[in-house]
Amino acid sequence: MRVSRCFLPVMKESPADAQIVSHKLMLRAGLVRQTAAGIYAWLPVGWRVLQKIEQIVREEQDKAGSVELLMPTLQSADLWRQSGRYDAYGPEMLRIKDRHEREILYGPTNEEMITALFRDEVRSYRELPRTLYHIQWKFRDEVRPRFGVMRGREFLMKDAYSFDLDEGGARNSYYTQLLAYLRTFQRLGIKAVPMKAASGPIGGDLSHEFIVLAPTGESEVFYDAAFEEFDWSQADLRYDDADGLKALFDQVSSTYSATDETHDEARWAGVAADRQRTGRGIEVGHIFYFGTKYSASMGLKVSGPDGSMVTPEMGSYGIGVSRLVGAIIEASHDDAGIVWPEAVAPWKVGMVTMRGDDPATVAAADDLYAKLSAANVETLYDDRDERGGVKLGSMDLIGLPWQLVLGPRGVAAGTAELKNRRTGEKQELSLESALARFTA
Ligand code: ATP
Ligand code: MG
């Protein structure tokens, strides 16, 4: 992408209305713009990051055996009356009337809709277990939308729903998602600690939140340092290994971690003082096992192996995809700007010409850009006729993992400078090796 053709409004100064670093950086680096309270337009840079996160979440769900579909954002009030949540949900639900005075709502979550879809199609235990998910916009009319996309009103969520024949199966589905979440967050380049949680309005008795540590987080957290040493990928563990999944769950459960809601001073005192970690954190995911709460109230039944009718056990599993953009920035930035983990960076390489008015520099940069693009190396090429220092400043702010800087002197000698954004390490290399570095 050439900066001269992109839509990349970079701001030099920190916007006064942004309180936390990720919100400031998302505005300054041109990722989003607020269009109404808690509602954001995703500009090209932000949209690319959002899609990268979404794709990693999707791939890890697919590997875990979940099946993707897409449910609409608008739902009928009648659907929610079936579970009794239409009246219970409160003012966070955006209620709308259509031209025929029919009550609809902008979905804050999808338990009712998925339960109804499943109920209307599935008849037999043979079609269980299933975990279905979608990645879709939600609306919650938060009292105090703040911190940019971190607590928006409209936000993107991955929500998965599991259906099992019995509690054992449902717990296995829950453990499966637990592992999928650990793997997802690891791939995203962040550490998210699973913490026992209260289950809130969704109901049920087994629930974990996944918390990214950041000083600006909304919840207070307590955990054993062991979580920092955990092998999050659990590389040897397969999703069809039920005992292994259970062992993972036991390991997570027996290692102390809690938010202020579930914190237990007596158990906490059992953690060695030098292993106690406290701080603040951002909830990026939340999983629930809630049994037959929705299946029973909405009349979902399947015929069991012995012919009797069985009410399936369910769970639901959310990841805040758009919140993650902010959370990743909270966890990965420096004074100069964002430092993207490679897996979610909007582009891999940022190319800058120090003199946009020098024909030899421009010719060399155009050529290198063409070759990188031909090799599908995601490159943002700042080809504007701007001062070199300004362009370098914006590149640091945007935070791509690698920068390639071409100036008249280097180009005359056939070289470019390669900078690692995270470490700041710089290296002079030939234009050919610069290309080979990313295409080999
Ligand atoms: P919170 O406690 O932060 O209000 P929640 O517990 O109501 O969130 P869930 O219903 O568990 O949220 O939704 C799943 C995920 O969706 C959360 O873990 C979070 O990452 C994300 N999320 C929830 N509310 C918002 C919001 N207002 N803006 C952005 N992301 C959100
Ligand atoms: Mg939650």
Tens digits of residue pLDDT in 95-118: 999 999 999 999 999 999 999 999
Strand partners of residue 213: 281
Q: Give the whole-number percent of the chain exceeding pLDDT 70.
A: 98
User: Both ends of the chain: CA-CA distance in Å?
Assistant: 21
| CA of residue 144 to ligand 1 center, whole Å | 13
Over residues 66-75, mean pLDDT: 98
Residues 6+ apart with CB under 8 A from 22: 147, 148, 150, 216, 325, 326, 327, 329, 330, 333
d(CA 161, CA 258): 24
Show the CA angle centred on residue 357, arms to residues 353 and 361, nearest 5°.
45
Higher pLDDT, 178 or 202: 178
pLDDT-wise least confident of 94-98, 193-197, 415-419? 193-197
Closest ligand relative to 284 C-alpha? 1
Q: Which of 139, 184, 286, 330 to mutate to test the pocket of ligand 1 (most atoms within 8 A of CB)?
A: 286
Place of tokens 């913490």: 195
Report the nearest-CA residue for atom 19 of ligand 1: 320
Q: Which helix (H) or strand (E) holds 123?
A: none
pTM of the complete model: 0.96
Identify the CA nearest to 171 among candidates 314, 72, 70, 35.
314
Instruction: Find out whether the beta carbon of 138 lies less than 6 Å from any atom of ligand 1.
Output: no
The response to whether residue 151 sits with its C-beta less than 6 Å from ligand 1 reads yes
pLDDT digits (tens, 9 = 90+) for 126-164: 999 999 999 999 999 999 999 999 999 999 999 999 999
Give the pLDDT score at 14: 86
C-alpha distances (whole Å) from 36 to each of 19, 20, 40, 148, 214 are 17, 19, 7, 11, 27
CATH no., domain 3-338: 3.30.930.10
Output 231 or 219, whichever has higher pLDDT. Answer: 219
Cβ–ligand 1 contact at 148 (below 6 Å): no
Shortest-distance Cα residue to atom 11 of ligand 1 = 286
Q: Cα–Cα distance between 101 and 437 in angstroms, integer?
A: 62
CA-CA-CA-CA torsion sign (232, 235, 238, 242): negative
Cα(267) to centroid(ligand 1), Å: 27
CB-CB contact of 411 with 354 (8 Å): no
Predicted pLDDT of residue 233: 76
Q: Does the beta carbon of 399 sit less than 6 angstroms from any atom of ligand 1?
A: no
Question: Of 25-29, 214-218, 426-430, which range is least confident?
Answer: 214-218
Euclidean distance between CA atoms 179 and 141, whole angstroms: 31
Return the domain boundaries, the chain: 3-338, 347-439
Give yes or no for a contact between 64 and 199, defined as CB atoms under 8 angstroms apart: no
For ion ligand 2, residues whose CB falls within 5 Å: 286
Q: How far is the CA of 320 from the centre of ligand 1 (A)?
A: 6
Whether residue 203 has pLDDT greater than 60: no
Under CATH, domain 347-439 is a member of which superfamily? Answer: Anticodon-binding domain (3.40.50.800)
Q: How far is the CA of 298 from the centre of ligand 2 (A)?
A: 23
Q: Give the tens place of pLDDT for each residue, 233-275.
A: 788 999 999 999 999 999 999 999 999 888 999 999 999 999 9
Looking at residue 215, its pLDDT comes to 86
Query: Of the ligands numbered here, which is closest to the C-alpha atom of 317?
Result: 1
Structure-block tokens of residue 263: 């914190």
Can you give the pLDDT at residue 111?
Answer: 98
Which one-letter DSSP state was computed for residue 235? T
Name the H helices within 14-151. Answer: 21-28, 44-63, 77-83, 85-88, 111-121
pLDDT at 275: 96
Which atom of ligand 1 has the smallest separation from the CA of 209? 18
Mean pLDDT, residues 380-390 taken together: 96
279 residue type, one letter: G
Cα 142 to averaged position of ligand 2 atoms, centre (Å): 13
What is residue 425's predicted lDDT score, i.e. its pLDDT?
Answer: 98
Average pLDDT, the chain: 95
